[in-house]
Amino acid sequence: MNRSDPQCRDRLAAEYVLGTLHGRARRRFERLLAAHPDLRQRVEGWERRLLPLAEELPPVAPPRQLWKRIEAATRPPREPWWQSLGFWRPLALAASLAVAVLGVALFGHHGFDPEYLFVVRGESGEQQWVIRASDEGRLAMVPLAPPTMPAGKVCRLWLVAPDGSVHLVGVLPEDERRQLRLPPGVQGEFARAQVLVTVEPAGERDTQPDGPVVSRGTWARI
Amino acid sequence: MRQAEPERLATLIRACAAGDRRAFASLYEATAPNLYAVVLRIVRREDWAQEVLQEVYLKVWRNADGYRPERAAATTWLSRIARNRAIDRLRRERPTLGDAEFPFDQLVDDGPGSEASLAHEEESATLRRCLEALPRQQAQCIEVAFFEGLTHPEVARRLRLPLGSVKTWIRRGLASIRACLER
C-alpha cells in the first residue's frame, strides 16, 4: 500500500480504527500518526464513524473490587513510605526464596509447619511484616520493621478471595507477634486469595478496604 | 453509556483533569459497564479484561487534560482508549490465546442500567442502518473485526471465508459505510 496515496492513507486509518491493523503494522501506524496531522484527522473521522458501534454491546458490570483497585491506584500518596509501593508488583523469585528461608527461621519451631508466607514490604523493599498461614486456618502476623504510622492510622490485612470478596483479617501489630484464626468466609480457599494491606483509620470497624494500598500479592507456598 | 449524556461525561472528564476524585468516581460509574463489555469482548478473559480496564481508567485519570471535546465526543474518546488498550493486550497475549468461545451471554448485566440508552443514539442508529444496508458478508466481517479486535486472517478463520474475500469485503464495506454516513 502506498502511504502517500490519500485513498491508501484513508484505508489504513479505517483499518486501524476497525482494529484489523495489528502487530508491527499497528505500531508503525501509531508512529506515523504522531508525525502526520492528516492521518490523525482521518483516524478521528473514522473514530466518529465507527466507534458508536462500541455502544451497541450490552453493558457488563465489572467486579466491584476493580473500582477499589483503580481508586487506590489513583489516590495521591500522603506518606512517603507507601508512595511508590509495587502495586501489582509480582513477588520476585529471589524474594520468595528469601521469604522461605526467613519464614522457616522465624516459624520453624512454633508447633506447626509454615505453609504459606507473605512479606509486607516498604518502599525500598525492606521487610516490614511477615504473614504466615496454615491450612488449618491459623494465621500469624510478625512485625519485623514496621513503619511508624501517622497518628490515628493502622495497617489492616485483608484477603481477597478468588471470587473477589474481601475479608478483613485484622490490624497488623506494631510491636509483637499476633496470631489469630483466618476469617471463616475465606478459610477453604485462602491459599488462592490475594493478600492486601491498606492504611485505614484506627478503631473503625471496616468492612471494606478504603485506604491507600501498601502492599498486595499472593502467598508464597513453602 | 447511560442516557443521552455526552455533555455530562465531557464535564466529568474536565473535572478529572482538575483532580476531582468524585467526578472520576461518577465517570467510572457511568461508563465502566460499557467499556468493560468492549474490552471483555476483545480480550475474552475476565482477568485480562479487568487489568485492561484498570489501565484504561488510570490513563483516563492521567490524560484527562488531553481530552478535547471539540474533536471527539466523550464516549468516542473513552472507547478509543479502551479499544486500543484491549487490542494491545490481545496482541501481546496472542500466542497463548486459544480459540475457546467466551460465554458472553452469561456475562450480560441484567441489573439496573442494562437497558441504558445510547449516548449517541442517533449516530449509532445511523451507523447501524448503514451496516444493515451492506451485503451480509461485508457487514459480518466488519462486525467481527470490530467487536473482537481480529486481524484479516483471524476474521477469515472465524467466518470460514477466503482471506482475499475478507480483505475485499472489509475494504468495500468501510467505503460504503463512509458514503452512507455522508449522505
Which residues of A are less than 8 Å from B102 in CB distance? none
Question: If you measure CA to CA, which chain A residue comes closest to B41?
Answer: A57
Dist. CA B140–CA B127, nearest whole Å:
14
Among the listed ranges A17-26, A207-216, B32-41, B170-179, which one has the minimum average pLDDT value? A207-216
Cα separations (Å) of B173 from A160, A201, B44?
A: 47, 58, 26
User: Model's pTM, two decimal places?
Assistant: 0.59
Q: What mean pLDDT, rounded, does chain A reach? A: 78
Contacts of A27 (CB under 8 A, 6+ apart): none
- CB–CB contacts below 8 A, A to B: 144
What digits encode the pLDDT tens for the residues B137-163? 999 999 999 999 999 999 999 999 999
Confidence of residue B106 (pLDDT cuts 50, 70, 90): very low
How does pLDDT run across B83-96, given as a tens digit for each residue?
999 998 888 776 43
CB burial of B120-131 (b: ≥16 within 10 Å; e: otherwise) equals beebbebbeebb
Q: Rounded to the nearest 5°, which phi and psi values hold at B50?
A: -70, -40
Q: Report the percentage of chain B scoring pLDDT > 90.
A: 64
Lowest-confidence pick of A102-106, A113-117, A214-218, B33-37? A102-106
Nearest residue to B53 (alpha-carbon basis) of B69, B71, B33: B33
Task: Verify whether the Cβ–Cβ distance B50 to A67 is below 8 Å.
Answer: no
Q: Over 90: is that where the pLDDT of A174 sits? A: no
| Biggest distance spanned by C-alpha atoms of chain B | 51
Residues 134-173 of B with CB under 8 A from A: 142-143, 145-147, 149-152, 155, 170-171
Local structure of A129: helix, strand or coil: strand
Q: Are A97 and B62 in contact (CB under 8 A)?
A: no
Q: What is the pLDDT of residues A128-157, one digit of tens each?
A: 888 888 877 888 888 888 888 877 788 899
User: Of residues B17 and A188, which shows the higher confidence score?
Assistant: B17
Nearest to B127 among A49, A57, A63 (CB): A49
Cα–Cα distance list, A177 to A80, A106, A107, A111, A180 (Å): 25, 11, 11, 15, 10
Average pLDDT of the segment spanning A19-37: 85
Flag whether the ipTM exceeds 0.85. Answer: no
C-alpha cell at B149: 479486535
Residue A101 C-alpha cell reads as: 528461608
Per the CB < 8 A criterion, the answer to whether A52 and B127 are in contact is yes
pLDDT digits (tens, 9 = 90+) for A62-105: 999 999 999 998 887 554 444 344 433 444 555 655 665 565 55
Answer whether B108 sits within 8 Å of A58, measured CB to CB: yes
* Strand A220-221 versus strand A116-121 pairing type: antiparallel
Indicate the burial class of A88 (C-beta count within 10 angstroms; 0-12, 13-18, 19 or more).
exposed
DSSP string, A9-56: HHHHHHHHHHT---HHHHHHHHHHHHH-HHHHHHHHHHHHHHGGGGGG
